[in-house]
Amino acid sequence: MFYAIIPYWYDMEIVNMDKAGRIVIPGAIRKKLKLNEGSKLLIADVKNDLLVMKKINVEDLAEQLEKDFKNIDINAVVGKVQSDIKEKIREKHSSIFG
């Protein structure tokens, strides 16, 4: 049963999605999480029809990424990715690229 995977202390409500794919986050949850117009949410399709939404702060995320990539040469990473993509294309279409 679906409810068996969600602890009873979680705030839950059933919501509908409109034609445009929008859902309304219930007011009590918006208030509790301090969600306002323009708040950023990350949504992930976990598995078995389970979606997870997480409130994110873009500035905090950018700050963390800056720290995480402080000692990494981004241009080298981009170059490696581009090289790998080109190699995959050559392998997949070897008859064209010989």
Decide: helix, strand or coil at residue 17.
strand
Cross-strand partners of 56:
40
**pTM value?**
0.54
pLDDT tens for residues 29-88? 999 999 999 999 999 998 888 888 999 988 888 888 888 888 888 888 889 999 999 999
Can you read off the two tokens belonging to residue 42?
A: 């990350």
Give the pLDDT score at 95. 81
